[in-house]
Amino acid sequence: MDPGTQLARSNDIGIKIGLLYRKRTETALNEFGDRVRAAVDGKDGRVPALLAGVDPASAWQYAIDTMQRSILFWDTMRQRGNNFVEQAMHGLQPMLHFQFEMVLDGRTFDRPVNYALVRIIPPEGVTVDPRRRPYLIIDPRAGHGPGIGGFKDDSQVGVALRAGHPVYFVIFFRDPEPGQTLLDVCAAEQQFVRKVRQLHPDSPKPAIVGNCQGGWAAMMLSSSSPEDTGPILINGAPMSYWAGAWSTGEGDNPMRYTGGMLGGSWLASYTADQGNGIFDGAWLVYNFENLNPANSLWGKYRTVYANVDTEPPRFLDFERWWGGYYLMNREEIEFITKNLFVGNKLWSGDVKSAGGSAFDLRDIKVPIVLFASMGDNITPPQQAFNWVADIYGSTDEIKARGQVIVGLMHKNIGHLGIFVSGKVAKKEYTQLVSVLQTIERMPPGLYGMDILEHKGEDGKVEYEVEFRELRLEEINARVNRFSRVDERPFEAVEAVSEFTQRAYELFAQPAVQAQSSDWSARLLRQFHPLRVQHWAMSDLNPWFAWLGPAAQAVREHRKPVEADKPARQLEEIGAELVSASLELYRAMRDATTEAAFFGVYANMFAMYLADKHKAEAARIKPVVEPRDLPYVKEALASITQGGYAEAFARAGVLLMRHGEPLPLSRLETIDELARDYADFLPKVPPEQARRTRGEQEIIARYEPEQALLSLPALLKDPGDRTRLLTLLDKLIADPRVQAVRPSQEQVAMLERIRSVLGARPPVERRIQAVR
């Protein structure tokens, strides 16, 4: 590339980055100004009025209240520290709200791993049916311990138990087994699934639930062992880590820039080498806390201080999980950083499973449900959904492979709220459990799931679920406003990371490993900033010996000041100003980080990799006409091939409604009809039935008339023809079908199918006779 072209590209990039940075900073300053004005002015300029309302007596009462709350607050911090020390002394335990029993311990396997399979014991008053679909829940191993999926009664575990499903949980212990890798973990989880199937031989295949990074595990497990797993539900899982929002109307996603700003994966390797081959998960938690300093440095403590009489139990309960830091082997963290965080290549075929085959999500034969939130800045929707566009070229390919993919989007909940929010459990997860009971009956395709809320006759809130079929091409364009061009600089990050990783391994790693020992690693972990703030504020510290008795005396003589008093309202204004200031700092920091990232790596990509991209694009000509796609050609070539299964699926496609939402209640009705008329249905596995349905839908879409006229070629056996016609007659006469009110188009198509297959008399007479 000549210097003039390089300068032109760099100038164009700089202009775009500058405009975006200016917009980001303007937005941050405007939001800060709005919060300050709202806090200070409020209604009718309330600060002067509040100051005037503070008399000497109320000031004295507020001073006593402030002192008492301060003592109770610090006593809460002391209790948190004591809980931390106790957990460390007795070993970190899963933070599950429910009792459980061990089923399989991965530490005893031929390739031992620090994972185990446990069965959740239903609480008193809850009965589960061993013949119902079991649930297997996989929590993230991202610094914290297991339990977030069953952290409280209103949780994924609680919802599934109350629906009558057996529930199993994949837990892990603090210390990894020597030499274990994520591929070993995946192999262990395959054994867990097989064990669950053995324990429930008469039930459908277990549903796999993956939370955050547990979503990777669920997808790896299902793609490498597709014959053992049932439907998959992944929540807030960063499947496409390079993706994110990079436009003026969307929020920042600072996590995706971390790898580039740290120079690649070498820092994770360096940290693990300092730990004598062990990576301290506290550093991952530290990164999470840095994302939102307004909460981690101020907000969560301010909430405890302001509500010190009621808030400590909830705060301490959550901190038991948040403050439990788990460890990884060097091999595990390097696998994550190289293949996921930086490389983003787990699904590209470059990563092999323990058996030597590449992970290919197209091998998954069961429906997949994706749950993400627009308010999640750790795993934005683009990271949760873009892998679908990477794996499947079009909606037709999804259908041709018989795949069902359902997306559910929350409007504003944050990342942790996806897993721990009681409201989410009561609404979204309760409906998702209902969906997973019948989702295998859905026709193949890509769907959006909507949860409609309304008041029932008794005044209570009720929910209804609908599915709307979507086109992958339209969703990809809607979610990714820049056609994913903002992901290209991450290719430069990957190249730089490979260079710095090799440089570190060659020049620095031997010296770091030589200086590390088990003793030095333990010392570094104990003095990690997050651990220090816990054990330094515990009974181990003699300076805190007075806090317990003082807090007890305060509780006995507590004199709180109501929150609506002028002094408390002034305190709240001050707290809001501190929070707004920290939020401004976060916004400016993230905007600067984003600008610096693209300033470095967008220029690097433009200078060294852009021409390579253009050459590859010129060499690979995109398929413009959908009919020319190989799976469409293959489906159309088989239009006269097949038997009863293909004819049954094609008739269903020809008679389906178009352009209407599909209610969950209709799926449940279809499930009932399938059981009642099982003798008339083709005897094929569900995954084969969905694939056949997808292929027949492609045929009916591109060649509707030929699809109808060629039905006799699929039903050469008179018995099969009679069997299908009998089924159609029974279905059209069934009150459950009539309750849906078949459309005129469906009635007309049914008559044409009967005519093509040589049946009489007309359908209208039969319908009238039934009515």
Tens digits of per-residue pLDDT, 637-655? 999 999 999 999 999 999 9
Q: How confident is the model at residue 765 (pLDDT cuts 50, 70, 90)?
A: very low
What pLDDT, on the 0 to 100 scale, is given for residue 769? Answer: 41
Q: Please name the amino acid found at residue 235.
A: N
Between 425 and 367, whose confidence is greater?
A: 367
Q: What is the DSSP letter of 352?
A: B
| Contact assessment for residue 253 and residue 414, using Cβ atoms and an 8 Å cutoff | no
Distances in Å between the Cα of 703 and the Cα atoms of 396, 627, 652 are 14, 10, 15
Ramachandran area for residue 290 (φ above 0: left; ψ -120 to 50: alpha; else beta):
alpha
**Which strand (E) or helix (H) includes residue 761?**
none
Report the pLDDT averaged over residues 287-303. Answer: 94
171 vs 339: CA distance, rounded Å: 23
Cβ neighbours for 508, distance < 8 A, ≥ 6 positions apart: 270
What pLDDT, on the 0 to 100 scale, is given for residue 764? Answer: 47
Beta-strand pair 115-120/100-105: antiparallel
Task: For residue 601, count CB atoms less than 10 angstroms from its CB and return exposed for 0-12, middle for 13-18, buried for 19 or more.
Answer: buried
If DSSP states are collapsed to H, E and C, what string results for 163-221?
Answer: CCCCEEEEEECCCCCCCCCHHHHHHHHHHHHHHHHHHCCCCCCCEEEEECCHHHHHHHH
**Residue positions counted in the chain:** 771
Task: For residue 432, count CB atoms less than 10 angstroms from its CB and return exposed for 0-12, middle for 13-18, buried for 19 or more.
Answer: buried
Q: How confident is the model at residue 767 (pLDDT cuts 50, 70, 90)?
A: very low
What pLDDT, on the 0 to 100 scale, is given for residue 509? Answer: 97
Q: How confident is the model at residue 614 (pLDDT cuts 50, 70, 90)?
A: low
Report the pLDDT averaged over residues 212-228. Answer: 89
> Long-range contact list for 97-103, CB < 8 A, 24+ apart?
97/147, 97/150, 97/151, 97/152, 97/153, 97/155, 97/157, 97/158, 98/123, 98/150, 98/157, 98/158, 98/161, 99/123, 100/169, 100/171, 103/168, 103/192, 103/195, 103/199
The pair of three-digit structure tokens given for residue 676, joined into one six-digit string:
């009642």
What pLDDT, on the 0 to 100 scale, is given for residue 770? Answer: 41
Distances in Å between the Cα of 608 and the Cα atoms of 9, 248, 564, 601, 654 are 12, 27, 62, 10, 52
Distances in Å between the Cα of 157 and the Cα atoms of 151, 188, 420 are 8, 22, 11
What pLDDT, on the 0 to 100 scale, is given for residue 200? Answer: 97
Cross-strand pairs, 373: 410
What pLDDT, on the 0 to 100 scale, is given for residue 390? Answer: 85
Distances in Å between the Cα of 649 and the Cα atoms of 435, 445, 655, 749 are 22, 14, 10, 15
| Contact assessment for residue 219 and residue 229, using Cβ atoms and an 8 Å cutoff | no
pTM above 0.85, yes or no: yes
Instruction: Please compute Rg for the chain using Cα positions.
Output: 30
| Contact assessment for residue 650 and residue 707, using Cβ atoms and an 8 Å cutoff | yes
What phi and psi values does residue 563 have, to the nearest 5 degrees? -65, -20
| β strands within 219-376, DSSP E | 232-235, 278-280, 327-329, 368-373
pLDDT tens, position by position, 7-24 = 888 888 899 899 989 999
Ramachandran area for residue 403 (φ above 0: left; ψ -120 to 50: alpha; else beta):
beta
| Contact assessment for residue 347 and residue 239, using Cβ atoms and an 8 Å cutoff | yes
If DSSP states are collapsed to H, E and C, what string results for 12-55?
Answer: HHHHHHHHHHHHHHHHHHHHHHHHHHHHHCCCCCHHHHHHHCCC
425 vs 431: CA distance, rounded Å: 9
What pLDDT, on the 0 to 100 scale, is given for residue 275? Answer: 97
421 vs 430: CA distance, rounded Å: 13
The pair of three-digit structure tokens given for residue 482, joined into one six-digit string:
């820049």
**Which strand (E) or helix (H) includes residue 314?**
helix 312-322
Q: Which of 104-118, 291-305, 457-471 has the lowest mean pLDDT?
A: 457-471
529 vs 527: CA distance, rounded Å: 6
pLDDT beyond 90 at 355: no
pLDDT beyond 60 at 771: no
pLDDT tens, position by position, 618-627 = 554 555 577 8
Return the percentage of the chain with pLDDT > 70, whole number.
93
Average of per-residue pLDDT values in the chain = 89
284 vs 291: CA distance, rounded Å: 11
The pair of three-digit structure tokens given for residue 748, joined into one six-digit string:
């007309």
Q: Which of 365-379, 468-482, 559-573 has the lowest mean pLDDT?
A: 468-482
pLDDT tens, position by position, 244-269 = 765 544 556 788 899 999 999 999 99
pLDDT tens, position by position, 717-762 = 999 999 999 999 999 899 999 888 888 888 899 999 999 998 755 5
81 vs 255: CA distance, rounded Å: 29
The pair of three-digit structure tokens given for residue 243, joined into one six-digit string:
């993706």
Domain ranges of the chain: 100-240+344-487, 626-770
CATH classification (class only), 100-240+344-487: alpha beta
